[in-house]
Amino acid sequence: MAEDRGALNRGIKRARTRHGCLNCKIRRRKCDEVKPTCSRCAAKNDKCEWTSRLTFRAENALAIHPSLLHQPPGFPPKRFRIKDVTAEVMRDYQCDKPGDGPGACDQSDNQLVSSYSDLSSTTIDDRSILFQNDSCWPKNTSHTNTEDIPSQARPEGYVPIPVSADTEVARNSPVIAAHPDNTIFLPGSAYLDAHAALRSHLKEKARSNDHTPEASRDSSKDTRICSVDTDFDTVTKKGTMQLPFDPVIGGEPSPTQLSVFQLSAEKELELWKNWLDEIAPWIDKFDGERHFQHQLPILARSHEHLKYSILALSARQIEVKNRSIHTEQSLALYQTAIQLVLPHLHTRSMGVIATCVVLCVLEMQSSSSRVWHQHLDGCAHLIEAAGINGFSGGLEQALFWCFARMDVCGGLISSSKTLIPVERWVLGMSLDADVHLFRAKKGYNTHACEVVYLFAQILDLLSFHPNLARRAGVSLDTSEIRDEAYMARWMRLWNHVSAWHATRPAEMLPITSLTNPTWPFPKILYSNPAAISGNQLYHTACLLMLKHKPAGVTIMPKPNSIFWYARQICGISMSNDHHGAWTNAIQPLWIAGQWMSHESEHKAILQLLEKIEVQSGWGTKWRAEDLKEFWG
């Protein structure tokens, strides 16, 4: 020790170090690191304290240092927030391999549930249910607590859906409490099990090119089950894991088949009325013939799976609108529809495709937006395999455009191309030829469909951008911006979008518009949902294209600013209360909202999003939270 101090006094230079004593660190003075007492502390007669030389210690990752336990809480972060996205990450690992069998998804889900339950218990507060053992997610129990019911013979072609969790447990789980935007399609939930089975079968049947005599039979002779007004039959098969609402083929239910979940004739009438008055007008907003309102109920008479899919969507919409935590009714109808349609997927009939499209609407309404593509890809394979496009005519065409609008929304969220390649939307000849075909068809509904097609083309062009719809995103590579092919296609698309706006028929023009100095957005009134949604898509398309305009491109005449298009998007939704147009407005509102800076604008957008969810039953809370986070 004396030698070290002597060396210091003689002026011998020592290497700088970060391991001095606490007193020297606090005073920001050079420490000679002589232990147990350094020279400065010895000169001042201070107590010399030392910290551990280890920067990282194992216990620090699992516990809080005792010195921090009694400190007053600091201010919450103003900008950043840690989100638990475990459930969404797990969903990304669902089976997508072409070689996986139909049961692979179910097996994967069961494995994910066990691992996820262990993780959740460490991240949720003590008031939540702890996942300490497998009993929290029963693997061989039905969704009911009834006594054993005698098993029945299964008909040929019957496809049971494995269930890995009780709905009551799933609904009350801390995972659902932590993810309010994805309350039914969670790992271990019966909804997810049923969806995984349908998705797997859809991909398998779409890849199959076998056209057997059975596949070409009349699909109207679908397997029938007892009607809804005679109640569901709860049938379980001992030794296996069965869906609690298994359909029983033919005849009336026997007295031993006691139903736990009952859907009375009065309830069925209520669900059908909600479909006709509320949901069908949503989907028919671009269809003047209203196929979903007029044709699907007729088709459902001979296709039980279509009937149950319609009732399931209607029930789910009522549940969301009423903010009900009880999902037993929609779940039972959803499972029954899937179980009935699985044996008939190979027929690719209109009844089967209609069922899958309706179920897609239900899943889009009830699942997290970040996994929308996973809910759409199976139906996309089926539509492609059936050869349906935007000019197929009749019900086929109506089904295609219903799915196409969902496909565009999914691509907009994920910054990716549409699941059905845009070159297969029409005839696939060229962009100019397809646009000419749209213009040759008369009618404002066709004009509205054209802007959906153009929007899909824009997604196809800009999908290389990782944050397509975000105002603050990763900058584009200069080489990509200046690429001649990109510039030429961008200019061609801009000209077609501008021509769409200039050639709008009278039905697509606003009835009246005005600006009010006391209101932050313009008021623009339209007479029909096709005009509302079509014009809003146009403004969204212009905003995105201007945001990603290639360097060196000059537009003549000079377009309006991005802020102008953003205000038009908000004004259209605030001036028109059609629920069908609202369902397609959530993503444009999120894009436009990022360009708003005034508090009054923020308040108006948040109030509108809440109004949409309360009145239409279409979830918007997740987008409102995204905007709040962006605004800080």
3-state secondary structure 43-95: HHCCCCCCCCCCCCCHHHHCCCCHHHHCCCCCCCCCCCCCCCCHHHHHHHCCC
**Mode of pairing for the β-strands spanning 512-514 and 523-525:** antiparallel
Handedness of CA 107, 94, 389, 357 (dihedral sign): positive
Query: Which of 168-177, 313-322, 375-384 is most confident?
Result: 313-322
Ordered DSSP codes for 200-233: HHHHHHHH-----TTTTS-GGG---B--GGG---
pLDDT in tens, 345-378: 888 899 999 999 999 998 888 766 666 667 688 8
Alpha helix segments (H runs only) across 237-290: 265-274, 280-283
What b-and-e string marks burial along 611-625, b requiring 16 or more CB atoms within 10 Å of the CB? ebbeebbbbbebbbb
DSSP 506: G
pLDDT tens sequence across 557-566: 899 999 999 9
List of residues 6+ apart from 217 with CB closer than 8 A: 347
Query: How many C-beta neighbours within 10 Å does residue 472 have?
Result: 7
84-135 tens-digit pLDDT: 655 555 555 444 444 444 344 444 444 433 333 333 333 333 333 333 333 3
What is the rounded CA–CA span in Å between residue 214 and residue 289?
A: 33
Question: b/e string for 556-566 if b means 16 or more Cβ within 10 A?
Answer: eeeeeebeebb
pTM of the predicted protein model: 0.66
What is the enclosing helix (H) or strand (E) of 525?
strand 523-525
Give the start-to-end residue ranges of the domains of the chain. 2-66, 459-632
Query: Of 284-293, 333-342, 467-476, 525-534, which gets the smallest average pLDDT?
Result: 467-476
Distance CA 309, CA 194 (A): 13
Over residues 255-269, the mean pLDDT reads: 62
As given in the structure block, the two tokens for residue 269 are 């009438």
Q: How does the average pLDDT of the chain come out, rounded?
A: 73
pLDDT confidence tier of residue 239, bands split at 50, 70 and 90: very low
pLDDT (0 to 100) of residue 102:
37
Q: The domain 2-66: what is its CATH number?
A: 4.10.240.10
Nearest residue to 195 (alpha-carbon basis) of 203, 522, 262 = 203
Q: What is the CA radius of gyration of the chain?
A: 30
